[in-house]
Amino acid sequence: MTEAAGAPTTRAEETGEAATSEAAVIDRSEHLAGAENAVLRCDELFAGYIPGVNILNGADLYVGEGELIGIIGPNGAGKSTLLKTIFGLVNVRSGTVTLNGESITNLKAHALVERGVGFVPQTNNVFPSLTIEENLEMGAFQAPKKFRERFEFVAELFPALKERRKQRAGSLSGGERQMVAMARALMTEPSVLLLDEPSAGLSPKLQDQVFIRAQQINKAGVTVIMVEQNARRCLQICDRGYVLDQGRNAYTASGRDLSNDPKVIELYLGTLARA
């Protein structure tokens, strides 16, 4: 396992400013080597919601074509903020986001969708008053002529949605709504799909269905970056994982290596990983 920034070493500014202005001394050589031919990469991202307060503090990430990447970490670590920053929903104050060698830093969401980036937020991710079919039509609004073709594609992944296409999304269970949200994001034919805690609030059985669908989407040729609170299950399916802590990388390695590493278990997985 690579300890990208385990127990990060920091150097206080000589001026004695607050911790938010401290400079992190982190070895980024492995990230730079791995990210060289990445489909999507983030380099030293600083971002936040309130002026002067950063949630991300130099976060790095890269994903290769066809990979499934998992992002785990404690509450408040910046996991969801990282996805929102990639998708242009949180302003990048410093650092870069690159897609296929082209900077997409601070591009708006609609421009990112046009470039092949899809995003499924954790909450408020369907139109409850619309039917399943209408939700999927909204997903294909930028390319309506491709609706039938894309609908057949997502129907293979989510056959129940085709059978119930005329049912209103508001009448669906939480797990079913999550499937609709994922299917709608796929209507844009993304090359990279961002999933923000897709299993949150679901029963263990429905959680497992979400992870199975994420794997199926990935095997269908979509690169996936997934933030997850169910760390153990996430690490079981991902090619590589990142542990975020205080807005920066704490550890990164294969999912298997992270799930078996004593430090990661003790600090981030706890008894859940031991079960």
pLDDT at 142: 85
For the CA atoms of the chain, what is the radius of gyration? 19
The per-residue DSSP string of 213-254 comes to HHHHHHHTT-EEEEE-S-HHHHHHH-SEEEEEETTEEEEEEE
Axis crossing angle, helix 147-157 with helix 174-186, rounded to the nearest 10:
140
Cα–Cα distance, 138 to 33 (Å, whole number): 39
Query: Domain limits of the chain?
Result: 66-92+108-274
pLDDT at 138: 94
Is the domain defined by 66-92+108-274 classed in CATH 3.40.50.300?
yes
Pairing mode of beta strands 223-227, 240-245: unpaired
* Alpha-carbon distances, residue 237 vs 16, 94, 104, 222, 226 (angstroms): 44, 32, 28, 15, 11
Cα–Cα distance, 230 to 207 (Å, whole number): 9
pLDDT at 124: 87
Of residues 21, 13, 6, the one with CA closest to residue 54: 21
Nearest-5° Cα angle at 72, 219 to 66: 20
- How would you write the pLDDT of the chain (275 residues) with one tens digit per residue? 554 444 333 333 333 343 333 444 578 999 999 999 999 999 999 999 999 999 999 999 999 999 999 999 999 999 999 999 999 999 999 999 999 999 999 999 999 999 999 999 998 899 999 999 999 999 998 888 999 999 999 999 999 999 999 999 999 998 899 999 999 999 999 999 999 999 998 988 889 999 999 999 999 999 999 999 999 999 999 999 999 999 999 999 999 999 999 999 998 886 444 44
